[in-house]
Amino acid sequence: MKRMKKLGLTLSSGILVASMVLSLAACGSDTNNSANTPDSTPNTPDSTATNGAGSLPDFAKFQGAKLTYWHPFSSTYIKSINDNMVVQEMEKRTGIKVDYVTPPSGQESDAFNLMIASGELPDIIPDQGYKGGGLKAVQDGVYLKLNDLIPKYAPNYAAVLAQNPDFAKQAKEDDGTIWSFKMLQTDEEPSWAGPAIRKDYLDELGLQVPKTIDDWTNVLKALKDKKKLETPMLLQLKSKFGAAEAFAGTFGSSYSQFLNKNGTVVYGPIEPGFKDFLTLMNQWYKEGLIDKDFATRDDTSADAQVTSGKAGAVAVAFYGSFGPWATSGKATNPNYNLVPTTYPVLKEGDDPAKTIHVGNKNWYSKGSDIAISAKSKNVEAALRWLDYRYSAEGFMLFNYGVEGVSYNWVDGPMKKKDGSGFFPPALSERIKTQHPEFTDLLTKNPDGVDFWTAIDKYKSLYEAYLRNPLSYVMAPEVYDAMDKWSTPAKDYNLPPLSSTDEEVNVNAEVMTQINTYREEMVYKFIMGEEPIDDFDQYVAQIKKMGIDKMIKITQDQLERYNNR
């Protein structure tokens, strides 16, 4: 393709968006900002520090400013966060020096709690599950409340929140408090989890990809009886299943989630449809159609079942699995062909968009909250620095890396499958005739690593920014999977809810024992150790454990969310 000349981009103007976001400040004035006003002069490093002049005019006053950032990090490709080119480019553009503090890999939660307890806080803190939630952290004087500050010092983030009421709704607490920058997506991300099956096996048997529950029963029987497969279908209840609820969702139920049925909260694992799901799984288990070791099989063993050809289908696959599985599978069988299927329906002709209400749902906010310490002496610098991620230039940097290095703009309109709907308005005209294309550093990496490894160096790490979830190089099967898995209505899925301190405590007390009991009984029902006729007793026991209290709490949370 013909290379295109670089076009300039501009940051959003705070003046233009301030009137759009007054509602952010109207949710309540900040009460813990007085000690560290963002108008104060930023700290500067000593004369021996090296800082190049930033290239962006909006950051002129912050040249030489220094921020500290506690940031989990793990990579098999680069040795430190400072080797990431987005990190390097941010310093070049802003002139702000960021010192990253990285906890030991695998010990992030403990390190986070120790940091919070010490009171020695960095300027920027990715939340790792503050006890009681982000709102409690604000009340405790740990995180800064951002409502009054965002319209003034984060105009790009404010502009994104103003694009759609649901963006703002998912970025704040029930009382209106905004305490973090979130990973935001301005379109609905396709589903990334669902069922899959070996199409090459079906072709051998002269069978079609199954659509209904009866189709699945017939296909699994053929895989067992004619292909002599050890595991006609993997059922990954211990890991992936809850991400999609395929098969359980067919019956309007859920393996583990609370559901929103037309505004009324119910607990999926005690719904009548869950009994139908368990009845089906018990039938399939008795007939040898699902994994006999489903209760104990881990992800590594499950992967081996798929790639070795011992498994003919998986109840739930992630789209990131297709590539690695195909590489391993084709090494021993060139005909290996695992393909996604739609979520199963009950009857021939049923439309999943109308009959399946539970599935893999992605919301506009992906969380990944980044807070600013209430003790920070560089509040405005931190706000401006984080806000850049939500500008048009920042969007390109964090999703695609450095132009001319990891990507180039090339001729041809941006396609929907590559995420055209996620681009900010400032780029809407450009993507009608051009699109970004990754360079060989990612697609044919000279170090011999694959795309998903190379992004550790050339794209942003997974954190809060304005994200295009389709800004990756993916196999054709992945796009097919996202199309098929996105068909369910998913209108029973609950939005991201917030909990009060009391609700957190009740949840810990009630749900811990319920989850243990539920998992134990589900295994017993499926394996026939407990008769399905005892389902009503199982429901009664869960009610005795306090599920009605949790349903009431979740209903209250949903109503508070709707009233934001």
Out of 50-59, 248-257, 411-420, pick the least confident.
50-59
Specify the pLDDT at position 296: 93
Least confident of 48-62, 172-186, 530-544: 48-62
Residues in the chain: 564
Tally of CB atoms within 10 A around 212: 16
Specify the pLDDT at position 290: 97
Indicate whether 27 pLDDT > 50.
Answer: no
**How many CB atoms are located within 10 Å of the residue 177 CB?**
20
Q: What is the DSSP string of 162-195?
A: HH-HHHHHTTS-TTS----B--B-SSPPPP-EEE
pLDDT of residue 91: 97
pTM: 0.85
In this structure, which long-range contacts are made by residues 4-9, counting pairs with CB atoms below 8 Å and at least 24 apart in sequence? 4/408, 4/409, 4/410, 4/411, 4/434, 6/403, 6/404, 6/409, 7/409, 7/430, 9/391, 9/392, 9/393, 9/396, 9/426, 9/427
Confidence of residue 25 (pLDDT cuts 50, 70, 90): very low
Question: Measured over all CA atoms, what is the biggest interatomic distance in the chain, rounded to whole angstroms?
Answer: 77
Q: How confident is the model at residue 57 (pLDDT cuts 50, 70, 90)?
A: confident
Both tokens of 83, joined, read 């080797």
Q: Higher model confidence: residue 379 or residue 51?
A: 379
Distances 263 to 22, 360, 492, 557 between C-alpha atoms, Å: 30, 19, 9, 12
Rounded Cα gap, residues 38 and 379, in angstroms: 5
Handedness of CA 475, 477, 481, 483 (dihedral sign): positive
Q: Is the pLDDT of residue 1 over 90?
A: no
Q: Please tell me the predicted confidence (pLDDT) of residue 490.
A: 94
Rg (CA), the chain: 25
Q: What is the pLDDT of residue 54?
A: 67
List the one residue out of 440, 399, 392, 402 whose CA is nearest residue 419.
399
Amino acid at 208: Q
Strand pairing partners for 97? Answer: 66
**At residue 213, does pLDDT exceed 50?**
yes
Which residue in this structure is represented by tokens 């009984």?
521
The amino acid occupying position 109 is S
3-state secondary structure of 338: strand
Band of the pLDDT at 148, cuts 50, 70, 90?
very high
pLDDT at 31: 39
Q: Show the CA angle centred on residue 117, arms to residues 115 and 122, nearest 5°.
A: 35
Task: Decide: helix, strand or coil at residue 233.
Answer: strand
- What average pLDDT score do residues 502-524 get? 95
Given a cut of 80, whether residue 231 has pLDDT beyond it is yes
Q: What is the pLDDT of residue 28?
A: 44
- Tell me how far CA of residue 196 lies from CA of 233, 235, 453, in angstroms: 9, 12, 25
Q: Helices (DSSP H) in 164-317: which residue ranges? A: 165-169, 199-205, 213-225, 241-244, 272-286, 299-308
C-alpha to C-alpha distance for 312 and 300, rounded to whole angstroms: 17
Q: Is the pLDDT of residue 239 over 90?
A: no
User: Is 323 a residue whose pLDDT tops 90?
Assistant: no
CB environment 51-86: b (16+ within 10 A), e (fewer): beebebebbeebbbbbbbbbbbbebebbeebeebbb
Name the helix (H) or strand (E) containing 316.
strand 313-318
| Cα atoms in the 13 Å half-sphere on the side-chain side of 230 | 10
d(CA 180, CA 178): 6
The answer, yes or no, to whether residue 332 has pLDDT greater than 90, is: yes
Own/partner pairs for 206-211, CB < 8 Å, 24+ apart?
209/339, 209/341, 210/341, 210/344, 211/341, 211/342, 211/344, 211/345, 211/348
Mean pLDDT of the chain: 90
pLDDT attached to residue 40: 41
- Hey, what domains does the chain have and what are their CATH numbers? 14-187+366-458 (3.40.190.10), 193-360+482-494 (3.40.190.10)
